[in-house]
Chains A and B, each alone.
Chain A
């Protein structure tokens, strides 16, 4: 039996890496909410987080491995599935499959692009024209960097598109991971489904509110 080549083994890896990313996304959202406490809020949070030093780096490396494993296996599996079902029906009627479940590879690839862009943007801070200064207490000014970026409609829109992709990916993905890990049955499955929808809606509204509210100048002035 092989974890990285058997069908269920690879799906289990996707489910575990998916779960790791979901947990990361929960923590990241909690951290990001400090932006609504203003400059002092998010700048303090950012400084405290970076003060954790090695812990931050361990998390980064672990998450990078998880994202890459998830990405590589998802492409492999999707290509295999396509090859297993080469001829489509003339009448394509789904009984239970959803738009979200059928577009996992596309919302996933969109997320890959988003993750790359987002890291270049706010983590590596290597995009042209960014506001990279310090605040009155001499700390790196995350607040100014973020609000400046989201005052541009194109950037705010790019983040919202990313969050819609995340919403779709997880509205199928969360319940799917429990099924893949064998932690489901008839009674639990609807609960996972509902829980996954609630969680992905929270992510959509929580993360989405940051660029939208800043763009509409309801926050960040």
Chain B
């Protein structure tokens, strides 16, 4: 498609005025969309038309629009972020669609993520997991001197792969059980792999598993939908790692070697 060609699409969008309000699908026309529009820019175009027509624009989350902040979030034709591998919705471009396509747009759906408005959901349950269990409570000080804290290259790479999570919540949105195991597993694995995090690994995994239940997330059935939907390519090996850390911590606690009740944020 050349740069000047434009397309028209049909959007079927979940509209909901506020939390606990009834919602419904509404159909809109996205007109004069170029292949170079990002998905969110396409929504901007639609919203400008809606505003001109005196209608309420479609509310959607976004911030950086460059695939790093994790704010954008919508389920496009049944797939969080639209299904292009390792791509956030803001980095999905309209060249992936063709003239006349019908696109279903739905918010992340999970008990843990109440809808605030239209496609905007409250993802603070993920923040709660981090506040409860996603930290180290030793003082790490400023940036350490080079080679002062030795971390092997494979360990550093592993921790970085886990730390790539941008917290968008697509894993929860994709999970048939609305489990947060990929998000939580990535954090537990990242910290358990590094010297600063190893000390509290048993307490952390215990607190994390409790926090997932307390915040309304489901259990893992190993469908691996999360890995397929993750825009950052976080792997389910981090879930296996969290399972391993949990079983290890449980065993250590049963023999009286650790007390997992203690994980303090200072």
A interface vs B, CB < 8 Å?
1, 3, 6-12, 77, 80-81, 83-98, 101-102, 104, 172, 175-176, 179-186, 189
Q: State whether A85 and B176 are in contact (beta carbons under 8 Å apart), knowing that A1-B249, A96-B228, A185-B237 are contacts in the complex.
A: yes
B209 interface residue, CB < 8 Å from A? yes
B223 touches A102 (CB 8 A): yes
Interface flag for B39 (CB, 8 Å): no
State A192–B87 Cα separation when bound (angstroms). Answer: 28
Bound Cα distance A91, B101 (Å): 15
Given known A7-B213, A91-B104, A97-B224, contact A1–B240 (CB-CB < 8 A): no
B-side contacts of A181, CB under 8 Å: 243-244, 247
Whether the Cβ atoms of B111 and A84 lie closer than 8 Å is yes
Interface class of chain B by DSSP:
mixed
Instruction: Tell me the minimal C-beta distance from B138 to chain A in angstroms.
Output: 22
Verify A7–B219 contact, CB threshold 8 A: yes
A11:B227 contact, CB within 8 angstroms:
no
B224 close to A96 (CB less than 8 A): yes
Contact B223 A101 (CB under 8 A): yes
Number of interface residues of B (CB under 8 A): 54
| Interface check B57, CB cutoff 8 A | no
- With CB as the reference atom, state the residue of chain A lying closest to B240: A184
Contact A97 B106 (CB under 8 A): no
Cβ 8 A contact of A186, one of B176, B210, B223, B237 = B237
Query: Chain A residues with Cβ under 8 A from B221's Cβ?
Result: 81, 101, 104, 176
Cβ–Cβ < 8 Å partners of A90 in chain B: 12, 14, 25, 104, 106
Q: Across the interface, do B78 and A92 meet the contact criterion of CB distance under 8 Å?
A: yes
* Residues from chain A with Cβ under 8 Å of B244 in the complex: 181-183
Specify which chain A residues have a CB less than 8 angstroms from the CB of B162 in the assembled complex. Answer: none
* Set of chain A residues within 8 Å of B106, measured between Cβ atoms: 89-91
Residue of B nearest to A7 (CB): B219
Q: Please tell me if B216 contacts chain A, counting CB pairs below 8 Å.
A: yes
A8-B247, A181-B243 known; A88+B109 contact, CB < 8 A: yes
Asked whether any CB of chain A lies closer than 8 Å to the CB of B198, the reply is: no
Partner of B209, one of A7, A88, A175: A7
Chain A residue nearest to B224 in the complex (CB): A96
Whole-angstrom distance from the CB of B86 to the nearest CB of chain A?
Answer: 13
Instruction: Identify the closest chain B residue to A8 (Cβ).
Output: B246
Q: Which residues of B contact A101 (CB under 8 A)?
A: 221-223
Per the bound structure, the CA–CA distance linking A186 and B224 in Å amounts to: 12
Given A84-B112, A96-B228, A185-B240, the answer on whether A6 and B247 have CB atoms closer than 8 Å is no
Q: Is the CB of A182 within 8 A of B241?
A: yes
| CB atoms of A176 and B240 under 8 A apart | no
In the assembled complex, the Cα of A87 lies from the Cα of B242 at a distance in Å of 28
20 A–B contacts from the bound complex (CB under 8 Å): A6-B246, A7-B209, A9-B250, A81-B219, A83-B111, A84-B110, A84-B177, A85-B111, A85-B175, A89-B78, A89-B106, A90-B12, A90-B25, A92-B78, A98-B223, A179-B222, A179-B236, A180-B222, A182-B240, A189-B240
Contact yes or no, A6 B209, CB < 8 A:
yes
Residue in B177, B212, B219, B236 with the greatest tally of chain A CB atoms within 10 Å: B219
